[in-house]
Amino acid sequence: MAQEYPASYDAVSEKYEAVGFSNLSEKEQAIYTIWWLEAEVNNGGFHQYFWNSSGDHAAFALKSLNNIGATKTASLLQQAIDVAFNGKLPESRLERQNHLKIDEVSKMDKLGDLDSEFYEYSENFYEMLDAYVAK
């Protein structure tokens, strides 16, 4: 698990509940999407992340990881998108779920390997996120 999630997450989560994702600033969206990526992958892997509503923001999470310099984690997310969706991330949750069901056993094995790499935490993306938000 990453060292500690950003202290700013709680405030961002409350704001999200009040005004929705599109009304968060770009930095708040980065906090929100990266936190949910980590939470879902740690709980059930990339498959769970894409299956659940948090996967709605996978494209923004990918962009945010690159923006903060977490390129190794961004690469893992991109590889997971490539495995699960042949590189083209579906926009809706239902479309993602339907794609995940195709050749699911093979995808689960490949995503499981990426999950294991994710759990190694080759970069402290929360520290990187805090530095990005402070700019």
Instruction: Say what the pLDDT of residue 134 is.
Output: 86
Q: Please report whether residue 18 resides in a domain.
A: yes
The answer to whether residue 2 scores a pLDDT higher than 80 is no
Tokens in use for 2?
């990453």
Instruction: Say what the pLDDT of residue 41 is.
Output: 97
The answer to whether residue 135 scores a pLDDT higher than 70 is yes
Cα–Cα dist 127/18, whole Å: 26
Instruction: Say what the pLDDT of residue 63 is.
Output: 98
Q: Please report whether residue 43 resides in a domain.
A: yes
Beta carbons within 8 Å of 86's beta carbon, 6+ residues apart: none
> Could you list the residue range(s) of the whole structural domain that residue 116 is in?
9-134
Instruction: Say what the pLDDT of residue 1 is.
Output: 43
Residues 35-48 have pLDDT tens digits of 999 999 999 999 99
Tokens in use for 40?
């879902």
Q: What is the pTM of this model?
A: 0.91
Instruction: Say what the pLDDT of residue 121 is.
Output: 87
Q: Please report whether residue 16 resides in a domain.
A: yes
Least confident of 4-8, 34-38, 51-55, 58-62: 4-8
Count of structural domains within the chain: 1
Mean pLDDT (whole number) for 92-117? 96
Query: How many other β-carbons are positioned within 10 Å of the β-carbon of residue 7?
Result: 9
Pick the closest to residue 28 from 38, 17, 39 (CA basis). Answer: 17
Q: Which of the pair, 131 or 74, is modelled with greater confidence?
A: 74
Give the confidence band of 122 by pLDDT, cuts at 50, 70, 90: confident
Distance spanning both ends of the chain, measured CA to CA: 25
Q: Please report whether residue 45 resides in a domain.
A: yes
Q: Please report whether residue 99 resides in a domain.
A: yes
Q: Please report whether residue 3 resides in a domain.
A: no
Mean pLDDT (whole number) for 104-130? 92
